[in-house]
Chains A and B, each alone.
Chain A
Amino acid sequence: MLLVTVFLVLLALAAAAGAFAAARRWKRPEAAQARVVLSGGGTGGHVNPALAIAEGIKAREPETRFLYIGVKNKAETVIVNKAGYELRYVCSEGYPGIRPSLETVRFLLKLALGIAQSIVILTEFTPRWIVATGGYVSAPVVMAAVLLKKLKIARVKIFLHEQNSIPGQLNALMGKWADKVLLTFPQTLSFFPKAAVVGYPIRHSIVPMSPEEARQNLSFQVPEGREIVFAFGGSQGARTINRAIVDALPFLFPHRKKLFIIHGSGLACSAGYNAADDTEKRIAKVLTPEQRSVLGDFYYRQDYFHKIAEIYSISSLIVCRSGAGSLNEISRIGKPVLLVPKANLPGDHQVMNARAMRNAGAAEILFEDTAMEKGGLLEYLNGQVLAEKILAMIEDRPRLQEMAEKSRDFLRRKAIERIISEIYEDKRFTDGNGHVAPFRDLVGNSRLLQMLSEAYAHSGPSFDPASVVEDPDDLAYYRHRAASLLSHKNWQDRNLGVKLIGLTKHLEKIPTLLQMLADRTPVDTVRRIFGGDFEQVGFIRRNIVNALTVMDWFDPEVEKHLFEAMEDPYFEVRVQACRTLAHFGTLLAGKNECVDRLQDRLDDGCFEVVIEAAKALGEIGTDWRAARALLSMNESHYWQVRNAALLGIKRMIERGVLDPSNKLIADISSFILTSTDFRPHFQIKETYAAIRKCSEGLKPGSYCRQGAADSNQVAGKIK
């Protein structure tokens, strides 16, 4: 016991001494040589800005010592070593999300270890500044620095550069502690209190040059007089883009005399996806041998281009992902782009980036679609769509020119100078916010659903989703996002997807919805015991039928499925199917099959179905047969059913298919009219409401502001 105590006391003393010594160390180099820790990584998009900032500091203080802290075997290993900076590694891992799981535990352990490592490295190096460029790689370094600062050991300033328009969760957290957050997009200002908009620091090697000059630097031949399209998916490559561009080749083939495609397929070679291999295989699959033999004439593929500026310079159009890095590099050169943003990233930041560039007039956007392939969910982009888009853009020469100019304006120039001025606090480049576009957030799915359904409830059948989501690109993205929900495992998600597809009027997905409606895959036994039936659960089927009403779309295929839905085992589906038939009543009026089926439903065991079927008969029936069926319900147990039958007959009279003859009146009088339900009305509330109504628009309490006791005055003001 004593030993342990002594040990603990000694440990505490040692820690205190260490802290004191470290604090002394930090004081010493204050005046002398500048030391800077750089951190951030995972992908080139995080490493390159860090290096660009380092270049900027070096230009100002050539004596500065740099230390790069990264994670082993990530992009920084290659890039930083090549750039010649000192590199040390710590442990860290991507943030797995808030849900408690094994991953979270591992993440926390690795983070704790990384923080400990960082503390050691930082006390050894005693930097003046820490420049973090985000990503999980810089998290332990920043946290260690914050810890040391809180303990009054370190005197270090933390700068965080955020490349994207929506910060990731770790960056949002770190931004609270950083001394200054440097932003690429002005839209991001709302996320951080201490921030400055500086732009994206671009590598020095990315400079605009003339196409002739660029051509000479290239390692491969590009024929003269062609429109060059450069497609790539970042340093690692993007499967969607790689596959889509290969799929587009057959459609671009007829235009091979005027096109040349340069394809950067990326370095990815993990177990899940080997970019080069997969691309080669796909080429062999989609092209005929004859086409392949002349492929080299208009297509060139390479894993990675070290001289990417040259490729940018000779291109007429660039097809790529909308990572902040790519966009800013392209903007530096000034080229039009066709963007394929990666969906479902934190805060949809690629979509936001893409939208920012499109709003600036420099880009067009294609959204990827989602499909089931080999049991897994896979994003894909239709090759034909891509090919058509490329051709359409290439052919519109003046517009392309205009886009190129807009693209050049998109970049926030002199980002590095701005950053340096922020770091050295001499404010030489701080200016206004540059191009400030009104910023609207993309909303989450549930919020979107709420907005759309409110609008739908308000405007009824004439509802148009464009009245809620004004930007057509946003709407396109929302539709895409809704469609991607349909293949989720969780039925709640699929249900949400179905509702959203209906409310956004995503008509292309109707066949998928109908397929889901007819899907009869049973759920697991446990759920069946409790009353479940099919994998596409009752709510989903009901909402699909409802979505057809919302989308207001009717064709023979829909009709067939609606008839099937009327036999569905779940009562709400049958109810909804009857309602939807009534909705399309004008199209179905007089159809015998429909009337037959509705008549069958009048014998349904569930009274809700009978009610809706009776109402639908009123919309669809055209002869005495329907009327007789309705009249036969005069002694139904439920008053709502009798009421619905009368409503149906009333509707038929209104539509002019039934004459209000004496016989009809006699028949109707056989209905049991007593009902067991009533609706109370409270007179005092009515009076109150009446007063409220006539004083609408009046400020509350305004009539007695001057203490006016005169009743005439009061009356006058109320008016």
Chain B
Amino acid sequence: MIFELCKFLAPYSASFSFFRLVNYITFRAIMAALTAVILIFIFSRHFILFVHRHCFLDQVRETGVHSACDKRGTPTMGGVLIIGAVLVSMALWGDWRNPFLLCSVAGMVWFGLLGLWDDVSKVRLKSGDKGLSERTKLFLQGLFSLIFAWVCVGPYAPLGSALATKVCVPFYKFPLGDIGPVLYGLFIFFFVVFVSNAVNITDGLDGLAITPSIFVVAVLGVFAYVEGNHIYSGYLHYAFLRGAGELMIFGAAFVGAGLGFLWYNAYPAQIFMGDTGSLAIGGTMAVMSVLLKQEFLFPLLGGLFIAEALSSQIQDKIGVKWIGRRIFYRAPLHHNLQHKGIAETKVVIRLWIVAGILALISLATLKLR
């Protein structure tokens, strides 16, 4: 809104000329991040109270006596805060005619609503492991991925059909080749479903999911800025994606919201993001990296999420269900580390460091090609 207003007002008078600032993506990005972070600071206390009261109405505490060291009873659904802050911030600073932005927001909202449904039904059923059935969840995730895959390879591709189905890998300048819309669509489908679930699995310790996703989204934002900028993309030999810069603003809003959330989510957490948050973050990251043609960078950039998801799947599907033994001591990864005697806070910080290193390496692929 502010973006439109300023653009509208700027030409009318010399005294409004500083409104031209909104034409600079960097300015809008900073403003979006600040807006998101401030929004979270303003609303989270009320939100935590609201969730707490609601849980209190809906959820009966099973045994009554809580052990003094467990974390049950912490309000959840903090993802609503993140999504809300990003949406409001983007409403103020974003250009809503931009297809990149629309795709990302659609991904975030769809997965967020799905997670919200899951969270609410968990509260309803008063159980942590019931909730939405795995099949319904997968179906709805798959449905979005299908639509998104069709958008990406179809006639309305924001990337432009020349680039849409090309495979670009990190550390190499040129596209490896064109694999055709069907294969590429299928790939997008699996990629989006996998990534969104990966974040869901990672979200197991206080602050573990949010910080690495801030890193990932920040790096993707840098890529968006480069690819959306004619000069930089030419200089770094990236295909120029007109309008991709808008994703940088989205990413900045997201980073702001994430930082604000971390304020409350840091150990010991006052609020959890819940499935609402983890699915939304996963969906956002997946959609962003597909839109920026960095989907093959993601295994490196979001290596932490991939490792968490793979360790959990390998342990469960191959080990426990099929060959009848444990492959890791515990799964997913962060529980394995905890089991080895590393304290929760230490596990979290170490994994942040790992995620940070991965993000730096990924950033290096801008130039190292």
Q: Which residues of A contact B (CB under 8 A)?
A: 491-492, 495, 523, 527, 530-533, 537-540, 570-572, 607-608, 638-640, 675-683, 685-686, 688-689, 692-693
Q: Does B65 contact A (CB under 8 A)?
A: yes
Which residues in B have their C-beta under 8 angstroms from that of A686?
Answer: 68
Q: Is the CB of A538 within 8 A of B342?
A: no
Q: A531-B319, A681-B68, A685-B66 are in contact. Are A676 and B343 (CB under 8 A)?
A: yes
Question: Which residues in window 325-349 of B have CB below 8 A to A?
Answer: 325-327, 329, 338, 340-343, 346
Which residues in B have their C-beta under 8 angstroms from that of A570?
Answer: 325
Q: Is the CB of B66 within 8 A of A537?
A: no
Q: Is the CB of A682 within 8 A of B326?
A: no
Report the bound CA distance from A678 to B66 in whole Å: 19
Q: Is the CB of B324 within 8 A of A685?
A: no
Which residues in A have their C-beta under 8 angstroms from that of B65?
Answer: 689, 692-693
Q: Is the CB of A677 within 8 A of B268?
A: no
Q: A676-B341, A676-B342, A680-B268 are in contact. Are A530 and B323 (CB under 8 A)?
A: yes
Q: Is the CB of B67 within 8 A of A676?
A: no
Given contacts A638-B340, A677-B338, 18 further A-B contacts (CB under 8 A): A492-B324, A527-B322, A531-B319, A531-B327, A532-B324, A538-B323, A538-B325, A607-B340, A608-B329, A639-B341, A676-B343, A677-B341, A680-B69, A682-B69, A685-B67, A685-B68, A685-B69, A693-B65
B71 to chain A, nearest CB (A): 9
Report the bound CA distance from A686 to B66 in whole Å: 8
Q: Is the CB of A531 within 8 A of B325?
A: yes
| Choice from B67, B68, B324, B327 contacting A491 with Cβ under 8 Å | B324
A374 to chain B, nearest CB (A): 27
Q: Does B177 contact A (CB under 8 A)?
A: no
Q: Is the CB of B343 within 8 A of A677?
A: yes
Report the bound CA distance from A527 to B321 in whole Å: 12
Q: A681-B69, A686-B68 are in contact. Are A537 and B324 (CB under 8 A)?
A: yes
A141 to chain B, nearest CB (A): 38
Cβ-closest chain B residue relative to A523: B323
Report the bound CA distance from A570 to B319 in whole Å: 12
Which residues in A have their C-beta under 8 angstroms from that of B342?
Answer: 676-677
| Choice from A491, A492, A689 contacting B66 with Cβ under 8 Å | A689
Q: What are 23 contact pairs spanning A and B, CB under 8 A?
A: A491-B324, A492-B324, A532-B323, A532-B324, A532-B325, A538-B326, A539-B320, A539-B324, A539-B325, A540-B324, A607-B340, A638-B340, A675-B341, A676-B341, A677-B338, A677-B342, A678-B343, A680-B69, A680-B268, A682-B268, A683-B68, A685-B66, A689-B65
A565 to chain B, nearest CB (A): 14
Q: A608-B329, A675-B341, A677-B341 are in contact. Are A537 and B68 (CB under 8 A)?
A: no
Report the bound CA distance from A519 to B295 in whole Å: 47
Report the bound CA distance from A667 to B83 in whole Å: 58
Report the bound CA distance from A693 to B65 in whole Å: 8
Which residues in B have their C-beta under 8 angstroms from that of A677?
Answer: 338, 341-343
Among A495, A676, A683, the one with the most B-chain Cβ atoms within 10 Å of its Cβ is: A676
Which 6 pairs between the two chains have the least Cβ-Cβ distance? A537-B324, A538-B325, A532-B323, A686-B68, A681-B68, A685-B68
Q: Does B91 contact A (CB under 8 A)?
A: no
B326 to chain A, nearest CB (A): 6
Q: Which residues of B contact A (CB under 8 A)?
A: 64-69, 268, 318-320, 322-327, 329, 338, 340-343, 346
Which residues in B have their C-beta under 8 angstroms from that of A640?
Answer: 341
A576 to chain B, nearest CB (A): 12
Q: A680-B268, A692-B64 are in contact. Are A537 and B341 (CB under 8 A)?
A: no
Report the bound CA distance from A640 to B320 in whole Å: 25
Which residues in A have their C-beta under 8 angstroms from that of B325?
Answer: 531-533, 537-539, 570, 572
Which residues in B have their C-beta under 8 angstroms from that of A681?
Answer: 68-69
Report the bound CA distance from A388 to B215 in whole Å: 77
Cβ-closest chain B residue relative to A538: B325
Cβ-closest chain A residue relative to B339: A608
Report the bound CA distance from A689 to B68 in whole Å: 8
Report the bound CA distance from A531 to B323 in whole Å: 7
Which residues in A have their C-beta under 8 angstroms from that of B329?
Answer: 608
B300 to chain A, nearest CB (A): 25
Cβ-closest chain A residue relative to B267: A680
A497 to chain B, nearest CB (A): 14
A284 to chain B, nearest CB (A): 44
Which residues in A have their C-beta under 8 angstroms from that of B326?
Answer: 538, 571-572
Cβ-closest chain A residue relative to B324: A537
Report the bound CA distance from A533 to B338 in whole Å: 27
Which residues in A have their C-beta under 8 angstroms from that of B67?
Answer: 685, 689
Report the bound CA distance from A608 to B326 in whole Å: 13
Cβ-closest chain B residue relative to A678: B343
B31 to chain A, nearest CB (A): 38
Q: A538-B326, A607-B340 are in contact. Are A531 and B69 (CB under 8 A)?
A: no
Report the bound CA distance from A680 to B205 in whole Å: 14
Q: Is the CB of B69 within 8 A of A679?
A: yes
B35 to chain A, nearest CB (A): 34
Q: Is the CB of A688 within 8 A of B66?
A: yes
Q: A531-B323, A692-B64 are in contact. Are A638 and B341 (CB under 8 A)?
A: yes
A700 to chain B, nearest CB (A): 9
Which residues in B have their C-beta under 8 angstroms from that of A685?
Answer: 66-69
Q: A685-B66, A693-B65 are in contact. Are A495 and B324 (CB under 8 A)?
A: yes
Which residues in B have their C-beta under 8 angstroms from that of A527?
Answer: 322-323
A355 to chain B, nearest CB (A): 35
B202 to chain A, nearest CB (A): 21
A301 to chain B, nearest CB (A): 47
Which residues in B have their C-beta under 8 angstroms from that of A682?
Answer: 68-69, 268
A562 to chain B, nearest CB (A): 19
Which residues in B have their C-beta under 8 angstroms from that of A495?
Answer: 324
B69 to chain A, nearest CB (A): 5
Which residues in A have their C-beta under 8 angstroms from that of B340?
Answer: 607, 638
Q: Is the CB of B68 within 8 A of A531?
A: no
| Choice from B64, B318, B341 contacting A531 with Cβ under 8 Å | B318
Q: Is the CB of B68 within 8 A of A530?
A: no
Cβ-closest chain B residue relative to A682: B68
Q: Is the CB of B318 within 8 A of A530?
A: yes
B8 to chain A, nearest CB (A): 52
B65 to chain A, nearest CB (A): 5
| Choice from A530, A540, A679 contacting B322 with Cβ under 8 Å | A530
Report the bound CA distance from A703 to B68 in whole Å: 26
B311 to chain A, nearest CB (A): 14
Among A538, A540, A571, the one with the most B-chain Cβ atoms within 10 Å of its Cβ is: A538
A542 to chain B, nearest CB (A): 8
Report the bound CA distance from A632 to B85 in whole Å: 56
Which residues in A have their C-beta under 8 angstroms from that of B64?
Answer: 692
B1 to chain A, nearest CB (A): 42
Among B69, B268, B324, B346, the one with the most A-chain Cβ atoms within 10 Å of its Cβ is: B324
Report the bound CA distance from A689 to B64 in whole Å: 8
Report the bound CA distance from A597 to B320 in whole Å: 29
B350 to chain A, nearest CB (A): 10
Which residues in B have their C-beta under 8 angstroms from that of A523?
Answer: 323
B180 to chain A, nearest CB (A): 31
Report the bound CA distance from A678 to B268 in whole Å: 13
Which residues in A have their C-beta under 8 angstroms from that of B327?
Answer: 531
